[in-house]
A and B are shown apart, each in its own frame.
Chain A
Amino acid sequence: MTDNPVVTASNVACVYGPVSALAGVSASIHPGSVTAVVGPNGGGKSTFLRTLAGVATPTSGTVAYPVTEGTHAVGYLPQSFRPREDLTVGETVRYYDSLVGDGPTPEELLDRVGLTHVADRRVGALSGGMLRLLGVAVAGVGDPDLVVLDEPTSGLDRTMTRRVFESCATLADEDCGVVVATHDLPTIESVADRALLLDRGRLQADRALPIEGTAFATAYDDAVDGETTVRSGRRTRDPAHDTGGEPV
């Protein structure tokens, strides 16, 4: 791992009307590393990842990519990525690869995520897990310096979750900086180097993995447990949890 980050977010804030989705978040992502972004729903994970990927523009603060002009800086897998169903898996990866040009071949991209055997299958006929793996393959086109994956294991079983996280580790082995939003901290701990805990738009904790001590786990549990409360059969955010709270 080198010391030069592939992306540096400095004091990033995103405000949508009265809602502050992110407030003063700073973090650097280094090549060859996997960074897990964890926290409750609505905590700001997706917004943070979108700003890192350059898909969302921060209201204030900066996101800087120290790359040379012309290189492909970022690969991005959104939370709900469903490519066109009538194309095959191979056609989909070849299409995205043709827009970038450099980097691994479409065959290598599919091999990396273990989808070579379904290259001729229609995207519409893929399982949810395979769809997410296809998204990871697409995020790797052009050999980007930074790959940002927004909940790539959402709704997947343990086996498929491990496969997706192993793909993240493969990307990092190729000197890519990988950022993964997930709710599955225990599983990603085996491949991630670091975890960022985001809650209420703030960076509550930034720890190297595996985590020693209980501070991060306690903060994580507090954040996730306080996320929802059941009222009249509807899941709503606990207002008591929306105030206060200092970084761990």
Chain B
Amino acid sequence: MSAVGSLRELALDRGHVAAIARREVKTVTRNRGTLVLFVGFSLLLLGFTWAGGGHASGYVPTVVDLLTPVELLVPVLAFAIGYRVFVSDRERGELAVHATLPPSRSSIVLGTFFGRGVILALGVAVAALPALVFVVLSGNGTSPIYAAQRGADSPLLFARFVAVATLLGLAALAGALAVSAVARSAKSAVGLALGLWAVLAVGADVGSLAALQRGVLSVGSLPTAVAFGPGGAYRGLVFATVLDVATVEATAAITPAVGVLSLVGWTVAGLVVAAYALW
């Protein structure tokens, strides 16, 4: 490919990105499977909220109950929404048609990410509403002030939790798009998606602990190292922006900036891989 050709492949056109994003929104919203996914996710959140028991004590205890389930479920949701997009477009000949049209690979990937990302963000927010309502109804409208007076429990903290979960979901969606661009069949996309999910979910934690055991990392730097993985970044962000309010002293292991940078970094990395591997 010539230098001019390479630059063309990187160029972003807002009109193209918007058109592609609109098509993704239409495609996803007209698929009944999407509705089933989000309803299932919502019911699971509600179930974990009820089973955890924290709902009677307020929003922050509920976030503690949902911390791990959401870390597992939101990436699954994102993968389900994104892992087949480009594989299917390739099988249907649509990628080949796009290759002859003006939009660059970057525009196609970004438009797809924005379109599906909007649906994911809205879906996660709406799916979390029943759990939120359940907490409101269970707490009899009380708003406890924690002993240390570091802050009051509030629905805003729950909203922050949902926002952090959405950031995790967007990072996973970018990974799913990368998988979809790299895979050459739906079957291999499933395998790659499962492998990547396992790496993202536990790989960074296990790697950091192994490094600690071998003396490569100090105990003090462990939280930051764990935050290099998307799961660790998500947990760190939830502690720093939601759970910190319920502690006597500031205990957040990482600063919000580190967590956000990690998740944004994973998102950008996924999109770059997808754009590179698209055709």
Give the interface of A toward B (CB within 8 A): 50, 53-55, 57, 72-84, 86-87, 91, 95-96, 98-101, 138-139, 141-142
Provide the bound-state CA to CA distance between A141 and B100, in Å. 11
8 contacts between A and B (CB under 8 A): A53-B96, A54-B99, A79-B93, A80-B93, A84-B92, A86-B27, A100-B102, A138-B97
Chain B residue with the shortest CB-CB distance to A74? B100
Chain B interface SS verdict (over half): helix
Chain B residue with the shortest CB-CB distance to A53? B100
Residues from chain B with Cβ under 8 Å of A76 in the complex: 96-97, 99-100
- From A78, A83, A87, A100, B101 is in contact (CB under 8 Å) with A100
Chain A residue with the shortest CB-CB distance to B103? A99
Interface size, B (range): 20 to 34
Interface 0/1 of B32-66, CB less than 8 Å to A? 00000000000000000000000000000000000
Given A83-B92, A86-B27, A86-B31: A55 and B99 within 8 A (CB)?
yes
- From A78, A81, A98, B19 is in contact (CB under 8 Å) with A98
Provide the bound-state CA to CA distance between A98 and B107, in Å. 13
Assess whether B101 is in contact with A81, with CB atoms less than 8 Å apart. Answer: no
Closest CB in chain B relative to A124 CB, distance in Å: 10
Residues from chain A with Cβ under 8 Å of B279 in the complex: 55
Chain A residue with the shortest CB-CB distance to B98? A99
Provide the bound-state CA to CA distance between A53 and B100, in Å. 7
Task: Indicate whether B30 reaches chain A with its CB closer than 8 angstroms.
Answer: yes
Assess whether B100 is in contact with A99, with CB atoms less than 8 Å apart. Answer: no
Provide the bound-state CA to CA distance between A55 and B96, in Å. 6
Given A84-B27, A87-B27: A96 and B97 within 8 A (CB)?
yes
Closest CB in chain B relative to A95 CB, distance in Å: 5
Residues from chain A with Cβ under 8 Å of B22 in the complex: 95
Provide the bound-state CA to CA distance between A81 and B98, in Å. 12
CB within 8 Å of A: which B62-108 residues: 91-94, 96-103
Q: Please name 7 further chain A to chain B contacts, defined as beta carbons within 8 Å, in addition to the given A91-B23, A98-B15, sorted by A numbering.
A: A74-B100, A76-B96, A78-B97, A80-B92, A82-B92, A84-B94, A95-B19
Most buried by B among A54, A96, A101: A96
Residues from chain A with Cβ under 8 Å of B160 in the complex: none
Residues from chain A with Cβ under 8 Å of B92 in the complex: 80-84
Assess whether A91 is in contact with B93, with CB atoms less than 8 Å apart. Answer: no
Give the interface of B toward A (CB within 8 A): 1, 15-16, 19-20, 22-23, 26-27, 30-31, 91-94, 96-103, 279
Provide the bound-state CA to CA distance between A153 and B17, in Å. 33
Residues from chain A with Cβ under 8 Å of B101 in the complex: 72, 96, 99-100, 141-142
Assess whether A78 is in contact with B93, with CB atoms less than 8 Å apart. Answer: yes
- From A54, A80, A95, A101, B100 is in contact (CB under 8 Å) with A54
Closest CB in chain A relative to B71 CB, distance in Å: 31
Provide the bound-state CA to CA distance between A91 and B279, in Å. 25
Residues from chain B with Cβ under 8 Å of A78 in the complex: 93, 96-97
Assess whether B23 is in contact with A87, with CB atoms less than 8 Å apart. Answer: yes
Closest CB in chain B relative to A119 CB, distance in Å: 15
Residues from chain A with Cβ under 8 Å of B1 in the complex: 57
Most buried by B among A50, A79, A95, A139: A95
Assess whether A86 is in contact with B96, with CB atoms less than 8 Å apart. Answer: no
Residues from chain B with Cβ under 8 Å of A82 in the complex: 92-93
Chain A residue with the shortest CB-CB distance to B111? A99
Provide the bound-state CA to CA distance between A80 and B103, in Å. 21
Provide the bound-state CA to CA distance between A82 and B97, in Å. 11
Provide the bound-state CA to CA distance between A87 and B20, in Å. 13
Chain B residue with the shortest CB-CB distance to A138? B97
Closest CB in chain B relative to A131 CB, distance in Å: 10
Provide the bound-state CA to CA distance between A84 and B88, in Å. 9
Closest CB in chain A relative to B72 CB, distance in Å: 29
Residues from chain A with Cβ under 8 Å of B103 in the complex: 99
Assess whether B19 is in contact with A55, with CB atoms less than 8 Å apart. Answer: no
Given A55-B100, A74-B100: A87 and B26 within 8 A (CB)?
yes
Residues from chain A with Cβ under 8 Å of B102 in the complex: 72, 99-100
